[in-house]
Structure 1
Amino acid sequence: MANQESSTRRLIITLLRTEGPMSAGELAERIGITEMAIRRHIATLERDDLIYPTTVRQPMGRPAKVYGLTEEADELFPKNYHTLTLDLLEDIAKVDGSEKIKQLFDHREERLVQTYSDLLAGKTLEEKVAILADMQNRKGYLSKWEQKEDGTYEIVEYNCPIAQVSKLYPQTCSCETNVFRRVLGTDVNRSECLAEGGSCCVFKISDNQRQEA
């Protein structure tokens, strides 16, 4: 039953994506179930911030309520960003050479360091590790952190949103490690890497903070 309900909600989202905002009655007619059943699914989708209602005035009669998709719902549809990224990097390498690729990743590193440093300023190492892991988690890395018995810290990432890029351009991995090292102000070593066939990315973080030069 749960799978059937999930399938129905997926169909609702697909219809709204392909045909635009629709009323509960229109959705019920298209899917072939009762309007009462549709409204139950709509309530669940609204609760999950996947659809939102809009009141539309009509030439005659009462205003109608129609439903559209939120930005969150857009994430449910397949994306192929890595293909575009890889194509662009390949083109840059052909036009300007591999040195330009290095410059791009160096620039990315500096930008991330500046962004993270501003957010972590004045924090203890433990606070920095926790905030950094949370920021990575919000980007889709499925991150968690913990303090080990010897006082060191560890950040583990179970997903890599840019894995397809990292496999061909390992600079992305070294860039991430360098960013962690610089914003945490201590030694950071990657002991396992998804792009290199590991089951996750593991960052070993020293508890000896140092001053960035």
Structure 2
Amino acid sequence: MNQEMDVSTRKVILTMLKTQGSLTVSDMAKQLGITEMAVRRHLNTLERDGLIEAKLVRQAMGRPTNLYSLTEQADELFPKKYHHLTLDLLGELVSEAGEQQVDRLFERRKERMVNRYEEQMQGKPLEERVKTLAEIQNSNGYMVDWNTTNEGHYVINEHNCPISQVANQYNHACQCELMMFKSLLNANVERTECLVKGGIKCSYTIQEKDK
């Protein structure tokens, strides 16, 4: 129970900093109705996790004090509706230029990503390329794991899709991801499950190209 209360209090602190801006320990203690020592304990945890940062400021009277504020990392904890804007803009593009133009955008995005990452794949055996691709996708928010099958093939599983709202409406985004995998891995890649099509993950089976 105490641990749940601690987590809840830290969420309240993050919300206070989001809605009110920078605050001192004293400000937070008064609003929360707890001691400054208790507030500092929560702040230590949040600072350790990279969610808040402190700035020492001088006061008209008395000693300098720390002002706490959110980091960029913490800002990602709060809801974002970027996909609504993206879908609106893509919808306008379809109206103006047709759906083929949207497909071209996804193709160009795929090409940029291949150009960005292909150097990391050069000279590596397939297993290392699979591992590297999994790390790249993880860094982009796809929550990836990978493994080797009994047949000697490789499987990449993506448990999250940051662009799912867009891909639901514009399926070419999924096709471009498959093409990107094939290009970066220089291998045979088959998608066996897809989040957008009702699966619980996006799953890809990978094997060496036929000699």
Which range, TM-score by smaller chain? over 0.9
Q: Which residue of 2 aligns with 1:137?
A: 138
Q: Which residue of 1 aligns with 2:191?
A: 190
Q: Which residue of 2 aligns with 1:123?
A: 124
Say yes or no: does 1:202 pair with 2:200: no
| Distance verdict in 2 for CA 1:97–1:38, change over 3 Å | same
Task: Provide runs of 4+ in structure 1 moved above 2 Å.
Answer: 207-210
Q: Cα distance, 1:60 vs. partner? A: 2.2
| CA offsets 1:15-54 (integer angstroms, 9 cap, x no match) | 1111111111111011111111111111111111111111
When normalised by structure 1's length, the TM-score is 0.95
Q: Which residue of 1 aligns with 2:178?
A: 177
| CA offsets 1:46-89 (integer angstroms, 9 cap, x no match) | 11111111100112221111111111100110011111111111
- Structure 1: segments with no counterpart, 5+ residues: none
| Distance verdict in 2 for CA 1:150–1:53, change over 3 Å | same
- Paired with 1:6 and 1:109, the residues of 2 have a C-alpha distance of 40
When normalised by structure 2's length, the TM-score is 0.96
| Distance verdict in 2 for CA 1:113–1:183, change over 3 Å | same
Q: RMSD of the TM alignment (CA)? A: 1.2
Q: Give the number of aligned pairs.
A: 210
- Report the AA paired with residue 91 of structure 1: E
- Structure 2: segments with no counterpart, 5+ residues: none
- Paired with 2:46 and 2:137, the residues of 1 have a C-alpha distance of 27
Report the 3-state secondary structure (helix = DSSP H, G, I; strand = E; otherwise coil) of the residue aligned with 2:53. strand
Q: Which residue of 1 aligns with 2:44?
A: 43
- Report the AA paired with residue 46 of structure 1: E
- Report the AA paired with residue 164 of structure 1: Q
Q: Which residue of 1 aligns with 2:114?
A: 113
Q: Alignment identity in percent?
A: 46
Report the 3-state secondary structure (helix = DSSP H, G, I; strand = E; otherwise coil) of the residue aligned with 1:22. coil
- Paired with 1:118 and 1:127, the residues of 2 have a C-alpha distance of 13
